[in-house]
Amino acid sequence: MHLFSAMFLLLMLAALPCEALYPSPEEGWQIYSSAQDADGKCICTVVAPAQNMCNRDPRSRQLRQLMEKVQNITQSMEVLDLRTYRDLQYVRDTENLMKTVDGRLKTASENPRSLNPKSFQDLKDKVTQLLPLLPVLEQYKTDARMILRLREEVRNLSLVLMAIQEEMGAYDYEELRQRVLLLETRLHSCMQKLGCGKLTGVSNPITIRASGSRFGSWMTDTMIPSSDNRVWSMDGYYKGRRVLEYRTLGDFMKGQNFVQHLLPHPWAGTGHVVYNGSLYYNKYQSNILIKYHFRSRSVLVQRSLSNAGYNNTFPYSWGGWSDIDLMADENGLWVVYTTIPNAGNIVISRLEPQSLEVLQTWDTGFPKRSAGESFMICGTLYVTNSHLAGAKIYFAYYTNTSTYEYTDIPFHNQYSHISMMDYNPRERVLYTWNNGHQVLYNVTLFQVIKTAGD
């Protein structure tokens, strides 16, 4: 049973400014947003209120408009859903065709004589068949614009809510505001899920900066939604306590405008992550996880990860006390490690971000010492087979189905020594520390979005 199903149902909205101060669910508008259920469905649904006595109230016009807006959002999302699914089928069909054409072009270029007029015509026909792919790609771009539009609609929605609030007086301002915030968060998360999928490609690297020693880690906040653009850098893997905090990526590139945090306990490895304004890291020579809150400069919680190997017992292939690797994706906070009972195979646990309690655990069966690094995207753990040149993404473990597969996803390991690799779900990029260089990669995710009724 997925934790996600538990998140399936949610919320609320818009107190009716009628007789009842707080309407019962049968009276108010309700929005159900499935972040992503077990079948991969992602739908935001609105339930309209039953007819009630408010209809003649002048404010009901505003509220009707509100409902319409929210329904528009729902419709847009359903269209997006359908379209993605349809395009997926199309892309699948076209893929085989492309492979055939590609093969023939290769033969033709190796041996031009093999291309007689008939096979040339054949090839031309195939290419013609491929032409319709262009509008599909165009459509994908339109979808991206649609997501922007959705965001705007949500913003407008909160404006409308504010207007209602003004008419109503200030008595439930805070409550209304909280509800709007919640709505925005949920819709945002739903939109994020629409973009979730399976990793199929990694872009060329972009080197952001060359700084620090051979080993280290750097990151931005991984929480969705977050408007926090600070960059954190932690040089070294051994007994470090100094975290540099830069105001922006631009400042990080220039090495300017930073403040320093001196952690009360030293860290081990490079598997740290910043999630919702706190740094989560492994305390040196222990299997203790620490949550350090940047704003208050204090440790909020520490907890031992039971049985987890530490102190270079089960590091990644590059060593460096990398026994315990914390990370975040669209689904929340995770820790990757191993134990003696698991015979050194990679174990994944989902963590509760406030208490650091383990919520659920998976045994991937993949030996941790044979892994270069690992990172989580959309609930799937991807493992590289080396930290050195020639590394590729070699193994994927799907927590949604507790299954794995071997993969062959290449990427360019430009500086030949990767000591940190983490996905940032907010920016959809991979952050890496490669031999004293801070490097980013874009990722391509293949979307499989099922529509209701499939």
Ligand X SMILES: *[C@@H]1O[C@H](CO)[C@@H](O)[C@H](O)[C@H]1NC(C)=O
Report the Cα 123 to chain-centroid distance in Å: 40
Applying CB under 6 A, which part among 12-20, 48-56, 131-139, 434-442 lies near ligand X? Answer: 434-442
Sequence-separated contacts (24+) of 370-373 with Cβ below 8 Å: 370/317, 371/316, 371/317, 371/346, 371/395, 372/316, 372/317, 372/318, 372/418, 372/421, 373/316, 373/325, 373/418, 373/419, 373/420, 373/421, 373/432
Answer yes or no whether residue 370 interacts with ligand X by CB under 6 A. no
Binding part of the chain for ligand X, among 51-59, 77-85, 168-176, 398-406 by CB under 6 A, reads 398-406
Among 203, 302, 407, 435, binds ligand X (CB under 6 A): 203
Q: Closest approach of Cβ 196 to ligand X, in Å?
A: 6
Rounded Cα gap, residues 16 and 68, in angstroms: 15
Q: What is the DSSP letter of 379?
A: T
Q: Nearest distance from residue 115's CB to ligand X, in Å?
A: 36
Nearer Cβ to ligand X, position 108 or 353? Answer: 353
**Judged by CB under 6 A, does residue 40 bind ligand X?**
yes
The answer to whether 41 contacts ligand X (rule: CB under 6 A) is: no
What character string, x for contact with ligand X (CB under 6 A) and - otherwise, covers 321-360? --------------------------------x-------
Burial 161-172 (b: 16+ CB within 10 A, else e): beebbeebeeeb
Angle separating helix axes 59-110 and 173-194, nearest 10 degrees: 20
Cα–Cα distance measured from residue 340 to residue 149, given in angstroms and rounded to the nearest whole number = 51
Is residue 429 at the binding interface for ligand X, with CB under 6 A as the rule? yes
Stretch that binds ligand X, among 115-123, 132-140, 372-380, 413-421 (CB under 6 A): 372-380
83-102: which residues touch ligand X (CB under 6 A)?
none
x/- string (CB under 6 A) for ligand X, residues 244-283? --------------------------------xx------
Which residues are CB-contacts of 359 (< 8 A; sequence separation ≥ 6)? 3, 349, 350, 351, 352
E runs forming strands in 16-127? 30-33, 44-47
Please report, as ranges, the residues that interact with ligand X according to CB under 6 A. 40, 65, 68-69, 72, 149, 152-153, 156, 197-198, 203, 206, 276-277, 285, 311, 353, 378-380, 398, 400-401, 429, 440-442, 448
